[in-house]
Structure 1
Amino acid sequence: MGRIRTISVTAGAVALAAASSILLPTSAHAAVACNETALIAAINAANTAGGGNVVLTSGCTYTLITPHSSDGNGPNGLPVITTAITLTGDNNIITRSTALLTPAFRIAKVAGTGNLTLKGNVTLNNGKAATNGGGILNFGAVTLTASALTGNTALGKGGGPANADIAAPATGATATLTGSTVSGNTSVGRGGGIYNGLRGTLTTTSSFVNGANTASQGGGIAAVDSTATTLTSTPVSANHALLAAGGIYRLNGTMTVTTSPIGSNTPNNCTSSSPAVPSCVG
């Protein structure tokens, strides 16, 4: 029978292995457990840390049953975003509960110091704001990449995302949508889908603003005294206004529309805008 050889590991080798493990990349993030409490704790921790990436559990619907922040703009389902936070999803929904007696609150508010990014098919749904921004009220920066805002409501302006009206000298709000969808949102005021307010900047690329977004003016989009509104490969269709401009309502500001058809909105597409919306007929 052959002899069994025993190989001993020296203390130095152990120390080297430990040191190597310390130097390994630490970019991986554990997914946030699929419940409201864990999501709120993760966002609070990211704010406290000065920003961060919050990874959502694949396929999870995070249902919010109560607001977790409130101020002069009303209650918010999530803590106010005060730093640069990314919600990295994999087919996720963050929604206000439909249960009876659930209080009204928007899903998220982004402060002037905040920067919120949604990526990886994250949908914000069923927010209900007593003021502006049923889905997101933005005073800072918002980026949606392959994500969506659906079925949100504002009693003020901006059923989905709303770039807040911000007077000088403060920096205007910015919203950037790429490969994203805004649909089925409602506002009592302007901008059923999206509101781009005073000194705001809105940029959309390869996105959709459609599916019965509804408002008094600008069923799809309202840009009012904004700095710039730039639509590229973003159809605005099948939206509705109670007064006029079922597609896009524009009042002042720079607007650029490129390969972005505006049609099948009711009662018309862009009537009453001043100046006219580029490339819009009716």
Structure 2
Amino acid sequence: MFTKNRIVPVIRFILSLILVVGAMGLQSVSPVIASTLTVTNTNDSGAGSLRQAITDAVPGDTINFDAALSGRVITLSSTLVINKNLTIDGSALSTHVSISGNDEVRIFTIEPGVMVVLNGLIIRNGYSAGSYGGGIYNRGNLTVLNSTLLENTAAGYGLGGGIFSLSGTLIVENSLFIRNTATEGGGLNNNNGNTGSLSNVTFFENTASIGGGVKNHGVLNLSNVTISHNIGSGGVGGLYNAGTLNYKNSIIANSLGQDCYTDDFGTIGVNTNNLVETPAASPNGCGAPA
């Protein structure tokens, strides 16, 4: 039988143990608080550079730019690889900052499983030889906002001059694809297994053998998209669809080569209030809009 004098120390010990274990538990679940890192110079590496900010960031962080970098160019010597959830935001600058591959390297590679937002950037003069994505190679979940993909190249048998999206998801809003070049999908190549959703986006003067503006193998959703004056040296200048295309309130016109082509593997889902110059309702066109 326990006496009163023996029970009290036992109770105190148990309470102390509970407090210690509880404190350890609280420490183990302490959240990592996202922070903002600021790029302060146009150097390719070192303190204050975009590359260093990406290295230093923890998942969920935001990288922005000092006001002095408005309209400036950051020139890369190697690709920026993003393997964590991250936002790179240049939208506060009066003139967008440019990130250039100097016609030698790709700008961004987005690794699988991460969520990345690129906002208010000019992604220009990226280069990938015989590979994917002159500007951006996406294997994760990428959102591009208020940005321009300019004069990027996927050379050789390259896919996606501006962006090649291999898997995951791609969202692009309020952005431009201008004078990008590839073998397939001069502006954008949306691969099988990827879902791409574009809103208020323009493709202009992009070039490819197939799909000067866009080539689609996955699911592609377009809303208020203009694909105009793109060049298809192999016959399809605007949009080549080999996947599922859903589009509304969009224009595909003025291409060198057919404006919109759906091959035997492609299907048209939503087709509402669109203008396709030639040939819209032919057997391999993109359908007459509802």
TM-score relative to the length of structure 2: 0.73
Question: 1:238 maps to which residue?
Answer: 229
1:195, CA displacement in angstroms?
0.4
Letter in 2 for 1:39: L
**Deviations 1:177-232, CA, capped at 9 Å, x for gaps:** 111111110002x100000001111111111111x1001111000002x1x10110
Q: Is the 8 A contact 2:210 2:235 kept in 1?
A: yes
Question: 1:160 maps to which residue?
Answer: 162
Letter in 2 for 1:177: V
C-alpha separation between the residues in 2 aligned to 1:208 and 1:29?
A: 31
1:84–1:65 CA distance, 2 compared to 1 (3 A): closer
**1:174 counterpart SS class:** strand
Letter in 2 for 1:182: F
Letter in 2 for 1:256: N
C-alpha separation between the residues in 1 aligned to 2:240 and 2:35?
A: 44
Q: How does 1:135-214 map to 2 (within 5 A)?
A: 135-155=135-155, 156-164=158-166, 172-188=167-183, 190-210=184-204, 212-214=205-207
Q: Is the 8 A contact 1:158 1:192 kept in 2?
A: yes
Select 1:50's aligned residue among 59, 71, 86.
Answer: 59
Question: 2:8 maps to which residue?
Answer: none
Residue 220 of structure 1 pairs with residue 213 of structure 2: yes
Select 1:92's aligned residue among 74, 88, 97.
Answer: 97
Question: 2:82 maps to which residue?
Answer: 81
Letter in 2 for 1:107: I
**1:42 counterpart SS class:** helix
C-alpha separation between the residues in 2 aligned to 1:223 and 1:238?
A: 18
Q: Is the 8 A contact 2:160 2:187 kept in 1?
A: yes
1:54–1:32 CA distance, 2 compared to 1 (3 A): farther
Letter in 1 for 2:177: V
C-alpha separation between the residues in 2 aligned to 1:85 and 1:184?
A: 28
Letter in 2 for 1:259: N
1:115, CA displacement in angstroms?
2.3
1:272–1:232 CA distance, 2 compared to 1 (3 A): closer
1:65, CA displacement in angstroms?
4.2
Structure of higher CA gyration radius: 2
Question: 1:12 maps to which residue?
Answer: none
- Greater CA deviation, 190-199 or 25-34? 25-34
Letter in 1 for 2:99: I
Q: CA RMSD in A?
A: 2.0
C-alpha separation between the residues in 2 aligned to 1:110 and 1:241?
A: 28
1:140, CA displacement in angstroms?
0.3
Select 1:254's aligned residue among 230, 236, 244.
Answer: 244
TM-score relative to the length of structure 1: 0.75
**1:206 counterpart SS class:** strand
Question: Percent of pairs identical after alignment?
Answer: 27
C-alpha separation between the residues in 2 aligned to 1:151 and 1:267?
A: 20
Residue 112 of structure 1 pairs with residue 112 of structure 2: yes
Select 1:270's aligned residue among 260, 274, 280.
Answer: 260
Question: 2:44 maps to which residue?
Answer: 36
1:63, CA displacement in angstroms?
2.8
Structure 1 gaps, min length 5: 1-24, 68-75, 99-103, 165-171
Question: 1:8 maps to which residue?
Answer: none
1:42–1:197 CA distance, 2 compared to 1 (3 A): same
1:271, CA displacement in angstroms?
3.6
Letter in 1 for 2:221: T
Structure 2 gaps, min length 5: 1-32, 280-290
Q: Is the 8 A contact 1:245 1:273 kept in 2?
A: no
Q: Is the 8 A contact 2:36 2:62 kept in 1?
A: no
C-alpha separation between the residues in 2 aligned to 1:219 and 1:247?
A: 6
Q: Is the 8 A contact 2:42 2:74 kept in 1?
A: no
Letter in 1 for 2:66: T
1:244–1:276 CA distance, 2 compared to 1 (3 A): farther
